[in-house]
Structure 1
Amino acid sequence: MTDPDPRSRPDADPLHAAEPAASDAPILPARRRVRLGRILRLVATALVLVLAAAAAAFVWSYYVTAPWTRDGQVRVQVASVAPQVSGQIVELRVTDNQTVRQGDILYRIDPFDYEVAIASAEAELKNREADLQVKRTQAQRREQLTTLSTSVEEKQQYEGTAKIAEAALDSAKAQLSQAKINLARTEVRSPVNGRVTNLLLRNGDYATKGTVNVAVIDTDSFWIDGYFEETKMPHIRVGDRAEAVLMGFGESLRGTVESVTLGISTANAAPSTQGLPSVNPVYTWVRLAQRVPVRIRIDHVPEGITLVAGMTCTVSLGEAGLRGRDWLLTAWARLRDQGRRPPREN
């Protein structure tokens, strides 16, 4: 039998029919929120991975290929001054670390022996001049005589004697010039503009010819040697812009790559028995990159910085090296500032 009145069935009750619709309504938005949360987490994870990969690629490029190095050093030429004559030092005109100009007198050697040498050379010169005059007169007189009064052999003999006297006169002139030069060399002068360093001389010391006794730092010859890893050499070119930051100073020196060394020493090139090369049999699995010296000409030194040979510095070349250096310095400054901040109070 069929129920004549469908409304009499319990499931046909409007109140009972509305309950499933009311319970299903909040389920769909909750599932959507869960799916949306999963998608956001996946996107955030992917974004972090992308950023980490980019940072790793940048760090790899900067540390392995970008032309920069912390292994830089200030270099300078040192003029080693040695006297060209020997003698006792009678006047020392400089002190240690004194600034000198090219041509300034460093010290004077006792000139007495060299003044005597000049007087002796002048006397010898006069003697040779007089002797030459006599020999020439004799030769001219014999030349005017006929073969009845003198022989051809005698004429040739007197002519040769005159030439010997002329050569002796030239030798006396050379000796006089040498004596004057030696007297001038008793005043030992600075060959460069610079500063005297490690001075150990004093008045009364004996200066030996050819023995170095004064060192002058050439202040016009400062340059920087940057020792770059061989993996960075493809990015280094002569003429590249360079910046160097000295340890202990904030401002940087500007310069230009002047040259690149074409060879470094190797232990395997040492000769052994029968002149054969001595090859080291030890081979490590992890090989360190060789360092190649790059010479950098200094174009600008900021005020307040005094260059000292032997100072260490960080050198960056080209745009890539400078950008990487700036990024590294910025990151280091942020970490340093965070370390200086006071801890938060709970």
Structure 2
Amino acid sequence: MTTTNPAGEGQTPRRPLLPVLLTLCVLASAGVLGWWMWQAYMETPWTRDGTVRAYVVTVTPQVSGRIVELPVKDDRYVHKGDVLVVIEPDDYQIALANAEAAVARAKADLDNKQAEAQRRAELTAIAVSKEEQQSFAAGADMAAAAYQQAQANRDQAKLNLSRTRIVSPVNGYVTNLLAQAGDFATSGQRVLSVVDSDSFWVDGYFEESVLNGIRPGDTAKVSLMAYPETLTGHVTGIGRGIAIPNTQPDGLGLATVNPVFTWVRLAQRVPVRVVLDDVPPSVTLAAGLTATVSIVSGSASANASQGGAAPVEAAAAPPKPSPAP
């Protein structure tokens, strides 16, 4: 007696194609996305090595004396022209008074010498000799020179007196204030520093391999480590030189050449200056903050093609000198 197998028994079940197709599509999409991210990573100029910078004005007195007024506080904002330091003016007021007295004395002596020389110049040769006339004329000239010197000393005394009041040359913030009222300020030595609030910019240190994609005028995106906001700026210049360690000689004057592996070449980093277009009030800039900078390549050319004015910083390179005949 023969037995028959049920229908379909012993046959391999057929797998649906939809999951396989979905898996292949996901893998293809991941591959395309990975390739695109790799291209963006390799070709888009960006760096995490960025620093916020600003000009710092060092306030150095030009005259010495005791500090009698110090109306500013540390980390406080000051306007251009605000008084920062007042040095005791008494000595310089006395010096000015002495200089003015010297000017008056020199003027009186000059008037007397000129009158004497004029009287003898009008006398005849019988009353006065030619030598005496020349001697009195020379004395008048010397008195005129002494009068000019006294005037110059008076002007210097006035200038020194005005320098006892030191005002802020820029708008900015007083930083790292260590001086106090009563301290002695020495001419030529720093008393305080003011960070120019109108001069903040960002230096992005880009590898030399991506510099060909950066042009003055390109749009830049700046992300500060301290704030979540993304700031917008534009490239104003690319550094034209960095330090070369191999140029430093040793104690004997011989060249110091650092050994490197022939199959490894580290890309140098060149500073690229980015000026911020707008800083929101919620962001407090401070020199030294860490920033990530990315450049929108070709934005300068796109702006120029749309009729926008070329940036002033993107000036053409100077012409090459013509060869000598």
Q: TM bucket by the smaller chain?
A: 0.7 to 0.9
Q: Deviation at 1:79?
A: 0.8
Between Structure 1 and Structure 2, the one with more helix by share is 1
CA distance in 2, matches of 1:304, 1:284: 49
Kept in 2: contact 1:64–1:231 (CA 8 A): no
Match of 1:103 in 2: 81
2:246 is equivalent to residue 253 of structure 1: no
CA distance in 1, matches of 2:239, 2:89: 46
Match of 1:305 in 2: 283
Match of 1:75 in 2: 53
Match of 1:147 in 2: 125
Code of the residue aligned with 1:125 in structure 2: it is: V
Aligned ranges 1:241-320 → 2 under 5 Å: 241-272=219-250, 275-283=253-261, 285-318=263-296
CA distance in 2, matches of 1:319, 1:293: 17
Q: Deviation at 1:261?
A: 0.4
2:181 is equivalent to residue 203 of structure 1: yes
Match of 2:154 in 1: 176
2:68 to 67, 82, 90: 90
Code of the residue aligned with 1:80 in structure 2: it is: T
Q: Deviation at 1:113?
A: 0.5
User: Which consecutive residues of structure 2, in runs of 5 or more, have no partner in the other structure?
Assistant: 1-6, 300-325
Match of 1:222 in 2: 200
Question: CA offsets, 1:138-181, max 9 Å, x none?
Answer: 11111111222222222222111111100110111111111111
Match of 1:339 in 2: none
Question: CA offsets, 1:211-253, max 9 Å, x none?
Answer: 0011111111100001111121110000111121111322221
Match of 1:122 in 2: 100
Kept in 2: contact 1:105–1:188 (CA 8 A): yes
Kept in 2: contact 1:66–1:320 (CA 8 A): no
Code of the residue aligned with 2:295 in structure 1: it is: L
Match of 1:55 in 2: 33
Q: Deviation at 1:267?
A: 1.6
Q: Deviation at 1:81?
A: 0.4
Kept in 1: contact 2:45–2:297 (CA 8 A): no
Larger gyration radius, structure 1 or structure 2: 1
What's the TM-score, normalizing by structure 2? 0.81
Kept in 1: contact 2:213–2:297 (CA 8 A): no
CA RMSD of aligned residues (A): 2.6
SS of the residue 1:306 aligns to: coil
CA distance in 2, matches of 1:94, 1:305: 24
Q: Percent identity?
A: 48
SS of the residue 2:109 aligns to: helix
2:159 is equivalent to residue 194 of structure 1: no
Kept in 2: contact 1:75–1:223 (CA 8 A): yes
Code of the residue aligned with 2:244 in structure 1: it is: T
